[in-house]
Amino acid sequence: MADLRQHAEEIRDRFEDHLDVDVEEVQERLETLVEQYAVPVEEARRSVESTYREEAGIEREDVAGGSSDLVELAAIDAPEEWVTVEATVADLWEPRSDSIAQVGLLGDPSGTIKFTKWDTSDLEELEEGQSYRLGNVVTDEYEGQFSVKLNRTTTIQPLDEEIEVGDDSEEIEGALIDVQSGSGLIKRCPEEDCTRVLQNGRCSEHGDVEGEFDLRIKGVLDDGNEAREVIFNQEATEDLTGIELEEAKDMAMDALDTEVVAEEMTTDVLGRYYRVSGPTFGRYLLVDEMERLGAPDGIEETLIKARSI
């Protein structure tokens, strides 16, 4: 109960500039979701906050975020936190949506992270190669990959001293010994810049939605000494399996079951040896580049024994 009270007070504080929010009402909404419907506390909080954002007619990024501590990019390990970073704009690319003003990579000595600057934020343009102190940015997460979003409350201060950009990419080799649940043909939330994977047609942030199809493989590479979890996005999955998105959708429609796609992919790739590279986020390596290899002498026997234990 005390925990829900604290969440209620924090929600009240976040919306006090936009709505007359009663903390007792907030706590009652949280208790209904958590105690009557067994909704996890964090999901309940997101649901209640979403309700108040709709009432106020504001975006998530426009809600006050509380403290904004200076952190290294590699230390960002949770979504929906408000932080300050000092980083160099390492790369910019063309936004895929008119609602996004700029998108690219920020870098500091600890590594790199994607950033998004909303068009409605009305912030100054960031220049590639320039270092900045960015105050009050919002963290986000997707499949273990964290990003930051610039919003109306973000402050931008150019720095005279250039911030060095570290390299957080990694290369590993191994046999693909497991294709995990959630691989194959999946559906993602269609809401702007969300892309969370749906569970039973539901997004943890936006509720019941009509999802958009995508491909991915979540797997485990093992070199006989160490196992590493990896994620192949749509492009990498198509390269890995030779099955493109439209073909996967046709397969699922013919069988009336999306699971046939994962089964077909697993048959093609399981036990084969690969070299992959890409950035590491959390426990996952996100595959940017991939090469199929022949297994080193003795490795197949070692892996077969390991899988049989």
Kindly report, residue by residue over 171-182, the tens digit of the pLDDT: 899 999 999 988
Region of poorest pLDDT, from 45-54, 62-71, 235-244, 265-274: 62-71
Residue 115 lies in a domain: yes
The pLDDT, as a whole number, for residue 178 is: 94
Residue 164 lies in a domain: no
Q: Which one has a higher pLDDT value, 218 or 19? A: 218
Q: Which residues contact 6 (CB under 8 A, 6 or more apart)?
A: none
Q: Are both 52 and 121 inside the same structural domain? A: no
Q: What is the CATH number for 145?
A: 2.40.50.140
**Residue that the structure tokens 């949280």 belong to:** 30
* Residues 252-263: tens digit of each pLDDT: 999 988 899 999
For the residues 117-124, what does the mean pLDDT come to? 86
* Residues 129-160: tens digit of each pLDDT: 999 999 989 888 876 678 899 988 889 999 99
d(CA 131, CA 110): 15
Range of the domain at 73: 69-158
Residue 64 lies in a domain: no
Q: Decide if 147 contacts 83 (C-beta within 8 A).
A: no
Angstrom CA distances, 119 to 92, 99, 205, 212, 296, stand at 15, 5, 22, 24, 51
Q: What is the CATH number for 271?
A: 2.40.50
What mean pLDDT is reported for the chain?
83
Q: Are both 44 and 80 inside the same structural domain? A: no
CA neighbor of 298 nearest in space, from 230, 205, 225: 225
Task: Please give the sequence-ordered ranges of beta strands (E in DSSP) within the chain, or none if there are none.
Answer: 69-70, 82-93, 100-108, 111-118, 131-142, 145-150, 155-158, 169-179, 184-188, 202-203, 207-208, 212-222, 227-232, 273-281, 284-286, 289-293
For the residues 102-121, what does the mean pLDDT come to? 88
Q: Are both 195 and 303 inside the same structural domain? A: yes
> 247 falls in which pLDDT band (50, 70, 90)?
very high
Q: What angle do CA 66, 281, 294 make, to 5 degrees?
A: 175
Q: Decide if 184 contacts 262 (C-beta within 8 A).
A: yes
> 61 falls in which pLDDT band (50, 70, 90)?
low
Count up the domains in the chain and report the number.
3
Q: Are both 112 and 46 inside the same structural domain? A: no
Q: Which residues contact 277 (CB under 8 A, 6 or more apart)?
A: 169, 170, 171, 172, 287, 288, 289, 290
Q: Are both 48 and 103 inside the same structural domain? A: no
Residue 88 burial (CB < 10 Å; 0-12/13-18/19+)? buried
Residue 78 has pLDDT above 90, yes or no: no
Q: Are both 83 and 103 inside the same structural domain? A: yes
Q: Are both 140 and 267 inside the same structural domain? A: no
Number of H helices and E strands in the chain, helices first, is 7, 16
Question: Which tokens is 21 given?
Answer: 């929010």
d(CA 248, CA 14): 44
Q: Which one has a higher pLDDT value, 306 or 125? A: 125
Q: Are both 174 and 154 inside the same structural domain? A: no
Q: Are both 173 and 275 inside the same structural domain? A: yes
* Residue 279: strand, helix, or coil: strand
Domain boundary (158, 183, 211) is at 158
